[in-house]
Chain A
Amino acid sequence: MQFTFNEEQDQLRATAQKFLADKSPTVEVRRLMETHQGYDPIVWAQLSSELGFTATHIPETYGGLGLSYAELGILFEEMGRTLLCAPFLATALGATAIMNVATESEKSELLPDIATGTRIATLAVFESFGKWDTDSIELTAKNNRLNGTKRYVLDGHIANFIIVVARTTNRNGADNIGFFLVDGDAPGLKRRVVKTIDSTRKLTQLEFVDVAARRLGGNADQSAKLAETLDLAAIGLANEMVGGAQHLVDETVKYAAERIQFGRAIGSFQAIKHKCADMLLDVEMAKSAAYYAATAAASSDPELPVLANLAKAAASEAYMRIAAECIQIHGGIGFTWDNDTHLWFKRAKSSEVFFGDPSYHKEQLVTRWQH
């Protein structure tokens, strides 16, 4: 296992940092979060067709760069740091799902457009409250027609196509989980942007009434593939989260050095210093897990499922603790709308529970460790 980033990876990070500093300052984040669309198509075109970010982990055969989840993790981290408003996580997960389940010809058909950013994809899995596993899927697929509701779908309102996980019935009448491809503007599909606490990332509810769909990757049960896809989603999100957490640590330390009370910078008080030291410890530990898991995903490590739980649980708790402490150390100003901290706090809160909250991942971690 590799414990440092190589030169190419450092370069990728530098490129991303430069681009995002320019394109995603908080003034832009604040502008885009108020829009219905939630992203800037020009910036999206630049990060995809010019910089190739959307092509990162897609194999070269399908028009991608043939890099790995480790590189994708770097991009997630940098986008999380700057709260980039764009359907990147959605599209990357859509691509991951396709790469996991689709046939060669389906991949050749779908992935090149994702790689170039011409088409935005998303993954629709979750339905009921608080359930993040295969058991919770009730949306049905019968004769390639979908009926049911998907919730918490990333950027579903702008996706050109949606990868929908559905429950189907095979010839023997046994239950079966399958991945289906649906056009974003398919008749019978009702898409609604739901109100969220984190408006920098759009979540949608999708209602399917007899919507035409195409099964991807044949008719065999794909529940194992779903578990794998969700593990990769958790690892991706964990990497995004540590980027945001690092931003908050940096901001807190900066503010503590500037803010004067009782005739001294508040950062000179041990009460504040010790909080900051703990925040640094939190973010570095969470980074170690996120990086390790992303590297493991790149090498198909058999321990991957456990690492996904571990990285997501670690990142969720670290990011949330750090966000709360960041506001605390900012004091009253930290609770105002004008101060930027709440943007990250809200991202931390929604990411904490997205793809499973820490207690869900901890329980799964022990279960998987036992087997």
Chain B
Amino acid sequence: MQPLDGEKLRNELRLWLESNWDPNASLIEWRSKLAESGWGMPTWPSQWFGKDLSLVFNPIVDEEFARINAVTVARSGIRLLAAATILEHGNDSQKSRYLRRILTGEDTWCQLFSEPGSGSDLAGAITRADFDGSQWIINGQKVWTTSAHHADYGLLLARTDWEAPKHDGLSYFVIDMHQTGVNVHPLKQMNGHASFNQVFFTDAVVAPEDQVDRIGNGWKVAMTTLMHERRSADTLRSVHRDRDLEGRIYDEERDETATVMEPYKWYPQRAGRVDLVFERAIETGKIDDPVVRQAIAELMIKARTAEWTARRARAAQQQGRPQGPEGSLGKLAASHVARQASKVHTMISGSDSMLGDEDGPLAGLIAEILISVPATSIAGGTDEIQRNIIAERVLGMPKEPRMDTGPFRDVMKNPGPAAP
């Protein structure tokens, strides 16, 4: 491949966009063009809806899309994780069946990894997949599944071998969510929202051609998905777009975004709403209380040092320097910030902290903070798991002796479907 000149690429894309972009096209029509031309995911292989471009050209591509407010391929939610996993581990038949409809947004996906009995210990999954001679039969339960209620397909991690050690008995499948053996129920959280689902499998089926990679390699495939999840959280590219644009395609995209973003509407409260602290303290007069002032200062110290630490990590990454320990600390720091913010909001609101909804401060917003913050130190890896990771991988401390080696059948586990 010839080295590519950024400006040449920019001109080529600009010409293509100018002759193809139509704000009054339908979302699917436009995204089909993007998929076929390779401009939707230019860093993907040219054989699979891409252009073999290096990642370094992404900013140029984004700039050109932003310049004319062009809509991109569907890249929100679990979709791109599914696509990345299938690109890396799927066969050609799987790639041709799934990738295109991921990009057009016609299909939505969910991730079926966590179980009631295996949260931090994801590899302890006991949802089973048994081959009956013609297809895989799935039984078990998954939990914390975002968007499962409107997903067309799921990325399923299930146990296919109970004699193998824990990590070696898992396999990875694509499961059709529209079937009688799959039942999705919302999971109501302590803050009243239901952003996630529980998914029950009762003799659900997966065709042999939807087995991803080889049997027993499921953990490795799941790691690919999780790695992309982490990476997209770090570098999620959001193309700048002007607001209130007119045209059919924008209306359709807004509807899509509203559906995708619905589960996340309480997330700012989960993080503690540090931004509200000063104005609330002034409004309530608590700003004059020396104890509250100390607590506010502690919060500001935590919040700002967390922000600077994240920026140190990003700056090192951008300069291609080896990332120091600061890159692994963000999640733990965020928990400290959220918890301190919750404490400070409680001090500021005093007895009003008991009140919620229309009777509570800021029409229930403060109450929502107080009952959402506990999620911060759990979701996406508990603080305790983060500390293990920091201690073992960053500080290089010795590992805990394991109790879960040997055949998985004999490993102590939470109650669930019995082994055969």
| A residues 13-36 touching B (CB-CB < 8 Å) | none
The interface residues of chain A lying within 8 Å CB-to-CB of B287 are 366, 370
* B127 CB to nearest chain A CB (Å): 28
The interface residues of chain B lying within 8 Å CB-to-CB of A286 are 305
Partner of A280, one of B306, B384, B395: B395
Q: Are A284 and B325 in contact (CB under 8 A)?
A: yes
Cα of A267 to Cα of B294 in the assembled complex, Å: 34
Instruction: Find the B residue at minimum CB distance from A289.
Output: B305
By size class, the interface of chain A is: 35 or more
| A residues 260-280 touching B (CB-CB < 8 Å) | 264-265, 267-270, 272-274, 276-278, 280
* B291 CB to nearest chain A CB (Å): 10
By size class, the interface of chain B is: 35 or more
The interface residues of chain A lying within 8 Å CB-to-CB of B384 are 270, 274
Q: Are A264 and B297 in contact (CB under 8 A)?
A: no
Q: Are A280 and B329 in contact (CB under 8 A)?
A: yes
Question: B308 on the interface (CB 8 Å rule)?
Answer: yes
A-B contact count (CB 8 A): 122
A160-191 CB mask vs B (1 if < 8 Å, else 0) is 00000000000000000000000000000000
Which applies to chain A's interface (DSSP): helix, strand, loop or mixed? helix
Question: B298 on the interface (CB 8 Å rule)?
Answer: yes
Which applies to chain B's interface (DSSP): helix, strand, loop or mixed? helix
* B276 CB to nearest chain A CB (Å): 15
* A264 CB to nearest chain B CB (Å): 7
> Which one of A256, A268, A309 has the highest number of Cβ atoms from chain B below 10 Å of its Cβ?
A268
Question: B311 on the interface (CB 8 Å rule)?
Answer: yes
Instruction: Find the B residue at minimum CB distance from A279.
Output: B395
- The verdict on A310 contacting B326 (CB below 8 Å), with A267-B398, A280-B395 known, is no
Cα of A369 to Cα of B51 in the assembled complex, Å: 51
> Which one of B287, B336, B398, B400 has the highest number of Cβ atoms from chain A below 10 Å of its Cβ?
B398
Residues of chain B touching chain A, judged by Cβ–Cβ distance below 8 Å, are: 278, 287, 290, 293-294, 296-298, 300-302, 304-306, 308-309, 311-312, 314-316, 319, 321, 324-326, 329, 332-333, 336, 384, 386-388, 390-392, 394-401
20 A-B contacts (beta carbon < 8 Å): A4-B312, A4-B316, A257-B397, A257-B398, A267-B391, A270-B388, A273-B387, A273-B388, A273-B397, A273-B400, A276-B395, A281-B336, A284-B309, A284-B324, A284-B325, A285-B305, A288-B308, A361-B297, A365-B300, A366-B300
Residues of chain A touching chain B, judged by Cβ–Cβ distance below 8 Å, are: 2-4, 253, 256-257, 264-265, 267-270, 272-274, 276-278, 280-281, 284-286, 288-289, 291-292, 309-310, 313-314, 359, 361-363, 365-366, 369-370
